[in-house]
Amino acid sequence: MNAGLDLLWVKAPAWLAAIGMPAVVYPLAFCVAGGVAIGLFQKNVGPYPDDMNAVLAEVKKTGRYDYRHLGAMFFGALLPLLFGGSIGPEAGLTGVVAGLCSWVGDRLKFMGAEMRELANAGTAAILSAIFSAPLFGLAAPLFGYADDADGRRRRIDSFTATVVSAPQVSKPVKTAVYLLSVAGALGAFMLLNEVTGGGSGLPHFSDMAVGTSELAWALPVIALGACAGWLFHGFGWAVGKLSARLGDRVVVKAVVAGAILGVLGIFLPFTLFAGEAQTEMLAQQWTALGAGALLATGFLKVLASQVCLGLGWRGGHFFPLIFSGIAIGYAAAGLFGIDPVFALSVSTAALLGAAMRQPLMVALLLILCFPAKAVVFVLAAACLGAAVPVPKAFSRKLPH
């Protein structure tokens, strides 16, 4: 992954600059080329990977996930990330790990019902490691969903009939399997980060100050984040309309997404990529960017994410949305003169609350990102964001 990014976004631009190509065209050229590659892949191989919620729901319902197309899932998830897609890696990784766990379970059937929990435990482990959020990783597979961004509220008891009819695992065994899986995944990721010098998971902020100014400006900052979260649904509806007009032309869709992403990347480079690594860069540069550029980045990255997801650049939406909330929070800190970490915590929570429609899951996801004193503000902002009404038309799934 890192080698591919270095080749495409560091070495290739240096070579193109040496032959006289202007740097301004790089994002557009690379993203359009990515659209061609992604479109041809989907046309010839299929629409991989599945959405993370689809993977979690399938594992929750059946205790397994189809592993016949693991290679397609892996490469389908990798291509958009390499070409700068504003999507996260969680969808592809969740599907691959769930499939591998199901493969192992099929070969260890003699162990009985315990193997049913292997796919669930695997998804818990990978989500915990991806986001560095163990509580979120444990909760999502148990609930069978990570959020309600698609507008279809799922209930835990909707899967009861299927689950009850299957062989049951004792609670001590289930708990041990889950906790050991999560601990193992987190340990492996930490070891890899130490060896490679890379980073993973969500950012962590500290030293938050809360005074009268922060409390006075809390609602306006929450409103900014919630507005971006509301637009996540609106942009998704609009992109769905565009996708429906383009019909089954998967290559055209992917190229259109690449062109839109490339144009955004020319003017606002932080709209490219998932946002995980870019968060550290933004923390160092936000004071020099200005509130206008930060707000534009935050809102347009939400658009970029929906363009990618709706037009065939398949992946997850969590990392881009978190980055958008952080950019909006920095803008609010500059505009209102308040503590930046406080602004980040409430803007990000409000955005995710409005987009995910699950305040508790938002709190579990962000609980380790901010200081302990931020927990109450994060939960309150997520609840306020989730309370923002979303038109039914935005929740209606259009063909992609």
pLDDT per position as a tens digit, 64-83 = 778 788 888 889 989 999 99
* pLDDT higher than 90, residue 348: yes
pLDDT per position as a tens digit, 363-391 = 888 887 888 899 999 999 999 999 999 99
Measured CA to CA in angstroms, residue 156 lies from 12, 31, 60, 102, 163 at distances of: 48, 40, 9, 22, 11
pLDDT band at 264 (very low <50, low <70, confident <90, very high): very high
Rounded-to-integer distance, Cα 187 and Cα 179, Å: 12
pLDDT recorded at residue 296: 98
With vertex at residue 153, the alpha carbon angle to CA 90 and CA 171, rounded to the nearest 5 degrees, is: 70
Q: Which residue has the tokens 């509806």?
A: 237
List the domains of the chain with CATH numbers: 2-196 (no CATH), 212-395 (1.10.3080.10)
Centre a 10 Å sphere on the Cβ of residue 141 and count the other Cβ atoms it contains.
26
Which helix or strand (DSSP H or E) is residue 310 part of?
Answer: helix 291-310
Question: CB of 386 within 8 A of CB of 351?
Answer: no
The residue among 25 and 87 whose pLDDT is bigger is 87
pLDDT recorded at residue 140: 60
Which helix or strand (DSSP H or E) is residue 273 part of?
Answer: none
* pLDDT higher than 60, residue 347: yes
pLDDT recorded at residue 4: 72
* pLDDT higher than 90, residue 239: yes
pLDDT recorded at residue 68: 83
pLDDT band at 332 (very low <50, low <70, confident <90, very high): very high
Rounded-to-integer distance, Cα 258 and Cα 268, Å: 15
Q: Phi and psi for 88 in degrees, rounded to 5?
A: -100, 165
* pLDDT higher than 90, residue 131: no
* pLDDT higher than 50, residue 286: yes
Which of these, 243, 136, 252, lies nearest to 145 by C-alpha position?
136
pLDDT recorded at residue 12: 81
Rounded-to-integer distance, Cα 229 and Cα 354, Å: 5
pLDDT band at 331 (very low <50, low <70, confident <90, very high): very high
With vertex at residue 88, the alpha carbon angle to CA 306 and CA 151, rounded to the nearest 5 degrees, is: 45
Rounded-to-integer distance, Cα 353 and Cα 269, Å: 26
pLDDT band at 181 (very low <50, low <70, confident <90, very high): low
To 10 degrees, what angle do helices 375-386 and 359-366 make? 150
Please confirm whether the linkage preceding 13 is cis (ω < 30° from 0). Answer: no
Task: Tell which phi-psi region holds residue 391, choosing left (phi > 0), alpha (psi between -120 and 50) or beta.
Answer: beta
Q: Is 8 exposed, middle or buried (0-12, 13-18, 19+ CB in 10 A)?
A: middle
Q: Which residue has the tokens 């482990």?
A: 125
Average pLDDT score, the chain? 81
Q: Which of 41-50, 173-182, 259-268, 291-300 has the lowest mean pLDDT?
A: 173-182
Rounded-to-integer distance, Cα 334 and Cα 150, Å: 33
The residue among 379 and 186 whose pLDDT is bigger is 379
pLDDT band at 187 (very low <50, low <70, confident <90, very high): low
pLDDT band at 146 (very low <50, low <70, confident <90, very high): low
Tokens of 61: 């319902």
Tokens of 287: 């004071």
* Residue-by-residue DSSP string for 89-113: SHHHHHHHHHHHHHHHHHHTGGGGG
